Structure 1
Amino acid sequence: MSIQQWSSRKRLAVICVPLCLSAGLSLLMLWKLRVPFPWIDVLWGMCSVWVGFVCRPWQRWGINLAVILFTLAIAETCIRPKQPGDATYHSLDAPQLKFVMGDDLLGLVPRPNSRARHTLVTAGQTNIDAVYTIDENSLRVVSPAGRPESEPVVFCGCSYTFGEGVEDDESLPSQVALRRPDLRMLNFGFSGYGPHQMLANLESGRLGKICGKPPRVVIYQMIPPHVKRVVGWVPYRAHAPRYGWQGGKLCRLGHHDDRRWLAPLQKGLAKSGVYSKLLEDWIISSADIELTAAVVEQSAAEVAGQFPGCEFHVLFWSFPHNPIAASLSAELKRRGLKLHMVQQFAPEIEDRNSRFGIPGDGHPSPEAYARLADYICQEILPEAAATSQ
């Protein structure tokens, strides 16, 4: 009996069974394989051919879809997803302790009163070997520490502020502290953070409590990927605070992982080279940029309300060729924020493949932080010039 003589029920069965098996196999490959999408695309391309073969009216659609999927498979094979090196964090206090711990306010924080060695090996070469010291408040220590009675200067941001890949005394807050020993620097930055963690720190009163006295300046170091973190479109820090609009007002809506479907989708897409290298930076909408800028603006308003006279500055990395950097910086300027463009005052350090970037990683090197510290002490903390002279 030819396929054309099969009953509708039999045709449906020979279509649905392979499709169900393919769906299960695709999920298994997403879970187990590091680069699953070439195989997934080929599998579904074969399914498309089979459906077109069984149901002749769908033959053209099946063949066209198969061509698209086979082309995607080739693209996924040629365009591999971003593969970080092998990173490890070894506790120097107790081997069984993890470097990070869950936190309902911020999502994750470094374990308080701890020391950990971070190593990163890329292509067989050790690019990072640094020790991170964390104080009782889950903040990275600043060296020199400054006197407790000194006026605080607060740094907020992500790994660029935390100082990923450099020693305690080489981070940006530490290099500013070296130039301004009369002030006390506090490092509220951590890897994967964004302005939503800064706002949560301010709204909860945690920042003010740790400072002990009103800070002179709050410096937020921003990079374009913070937009994806604010809207929750990243496969990490899933329990981070989620902000959005409610009744026309910006407010906290819970955590990103309240939307349980989001994290598995993000982790799966992160394994796609086509998505991570060609599409990821282009899915950000103008509404996402406006929301992120509003979070920064609200943080500035919280600083002004809680600490009268305290200045709020944004140190902005453009990431050359990033598709949203220009729109994001324009929106921040439109909202009246004090914006310092790294691309304008130190364009050389934006080249992460130079001596200003850690090889095989791209985070700023100690030389880059030294350049930023000089600028901060000249333009944001101008008393430094008088002190040094």
Structure 2
Amino acid sequence: MATRVKIALIYFGAVIIALLMAEAYYAGVFNFGTPIKNLKADVKVISGKNIQGHKILGYAPSANSSYLINKYYGDSLLYKYSQTIDKYGLRKNQSPDSSSWANAALFFGDSFTFGEGVEDHETSSSIFQNKSHGKFKAINYAYIGYGPHQTLALLENNLEKKPLSGLKPQVGILQIIPDHVFRVADKSGWDFFGPEYKISEKTNKLVYNGAFNNNITGKIKSFFFRSHLVKNIFYRNRKYSYDDVELLAKVVKESYQIFNERYGNKFYVILWQLKESESDLYSQILTQLCKLGVPVIEIKDILPDYSPNSSKYIIQFDNHPNKYTHKLLGEYLYELVQK
């Protein structure tokens, strides 16, 4: 009996050591074989507080805060930039205020719209606002890691109204990427308390289903996803289904309808394809959106040479739009609205 216990303990110890070594490898501690380089951000809070929980959106930046962010790929600094969050908890446009504002342009989305990697005055919303010369106030409702489900929850709960301060929205802009298929289906690996939507089997309509997880399961998942090993296994093995693509399309469609019914104006959807391996998923998303009657602007319509020259527009290793791309997007969107 004692021998069996010893053998069991040896096996158990070996498993623990193997798991710890795998964790250290995927964390980039060891350099044997092919070194693992992870993207990591060093966030320094200059004023206010860091990210906070949100009862509707899952999480959100803290109001009246500012941050300095250094983003690394392995040990190499990719970029550094600052973020300023206004009194409404939204990314601030560093452009002159104007007493002549009567109209608003509402920007929705994730880090692409929020402006991960660029300064406050370099985001597409800031460029749009500056280009309008006082005609439009651009309001950036996006945040890092969000998906279209946050946009829909925001609109369903009228969260866009308070920052308007009496301005009339004339246009809404939502940027989406293929990864949003995973985000709306609770397969992101970080958005554990975000708003969940389901397609009803009885009516085939979209229904709100509360948060992705309750407080206990959400915290358990959050704990395990701190592990580099767990994240590596998860991202290597996650799959999407036709139902996930349909869910994304219906979430975008519902946001499109709410905006147009509420404000009677234009709502543009911009669809990105970041890499060739996403081509099939990209095509499925585009097909579903068109099937539901959602007008889509493909990124190749804005940046015709994007596919063969993506390095010109995207931050290396990080895959977020650089400041040059934000400038082109902001200018393109303003000219589009004027037509």
TM range, normalised to the smaller chain?
0.7 to 0.9
Over 3 Å counting, the alpha-carbon distance change for 1:207 and 1:227 in structure 2 is: same
Q: Are 2:105 and 1:162 aligned?
A: no
Q: Where does residue 64 of structure 2 map in the other structure?
A: 113
| 1:257–1:263 Cα contact (<8 Å) kept | no
| 2:38–2:74 Cα contact (<8 Å) kept | no
Q: Where does residue 209 of structure 1 map in the other structure?
A: 162
Q: Are 2:183 and 1:219 aligned?
A: no
Q: Are 2:136 and 1:178 aligned?
A: no
Structure 1 residue runs without a partner (length 5+): 1-8, 37-76, 384-389
Q: Secondary structure at the match of 1:121?
A: strand
Over 3 Å counting, the alpha-carbon distance change for 1:274 and 1:165 in structure 2 is: same
> Post-superposition shift, 1:347?
3.6
> Post-superposition shift, 1:13?
7.8
Q: Are 2:255 and 1:304 aligned?
A: no
Q: Secondary structure at the match of 2:146?
A: coil
Q: Where does residue 150 of structure 1 map in the other structure?
A: 102
Map 1:33-182 onto structure 2 (within 5 A). Answer: 33=24, 35=26, 83-84=38-39, 86-93=40-47, 98-144=49-95, 146-147=97-98, 149-181=101-133, 182=135
Over 3 Å counting, the alpha-carbon distance change for 1:271 and 1:82 in structure 2 is: farther
Q: State how far apart, in whole Å, the 1-side matches of 2:4 and 2:243 are.
A: 43
Q: State how far apart, in whole Å, the 1-side matches of 2:246 and 2:224 are.
A: 24
Q: Secondary structure at the match of 2:53?
A: strand
Greater RCO (CA < 8 Å, at least 6 residues apart) = 2
> Post-superposition shift, 1:151?
0.3
| 2:178–2:285 Cα contact (<8 Å) kept | yes
Q: Secondary structure at the match of 1:189?
A: coil
> Post-superposition shift, 1:358?
2.0
Letter in 1 for 2:62: R
> Post-superposition shift, 1:216?
0.5
Q: Are 2:296 and 1:339 aligned?
A: yes
Structure 2 residue runs without a partner (length 5+): none
TM-score (norm: length of structure 1)? 0.74
Q: Where does residue 331 of structure 2 map in the other structure?
A: 374
Q: State how far apart, in whole Å, the 2-side matches of 1:298 and 1:223 are.
A: 17
Q: Are 2:256 and 1:256 aligned?
A: no
Q: Secondary structure at the match of 1:318?
A: coil
> Post-superposition shift, 1:305?
2.5
| 2:86–2:92 Cα contact (<8 Å) kept | yes
Letter in 2 for 1:229: R
> Post-superposition shift, 1:35?
2.4
> Post-superposition shift, 1:318?
1.6
Q: Are 2:142 and 1:189 aligned?
A: yes
| 1:172–1:373 Cα contact (<8 Å) kept | yes
CA RMSD of aligned residues (A): 3.1
> Post-superposition shift, 1:287?
0.3
> Post-superposition shift, 1:23?
6.7
Letter in 2 for 1:83: N
> Post-superposition shift, 1:245?
2.7
Q: Secondary structure at the match of 1:92?
A: strand
Letter in 2 for 1:226: H
Indicate the larger mover: 242-251 or 9-18. Answer: 9-18
Q: Are 2:196 and 1:228 aligned?
A: no
| 2:37–2:74 Cα contact (<8 Å) kept | no
> Post-superposition shift, 1:10?
11
| 1:169-197 CA distance string (max 9 Å, x none) | 10010111121121110001110001011
Q: Which has the larger radius of gyration?
A: 1
Q: Where does residue 311 of structure 2 map in the other structure?
A: 354
Letter in 2 for 1:293: A
> Post-superposition shift, 1:78?
6.3
Q: State how far apart, in whole Å, the 1-side matches of 2:281 and 2:35 are.
A: 23
> Post-superposition shift, 1:122?
2.8
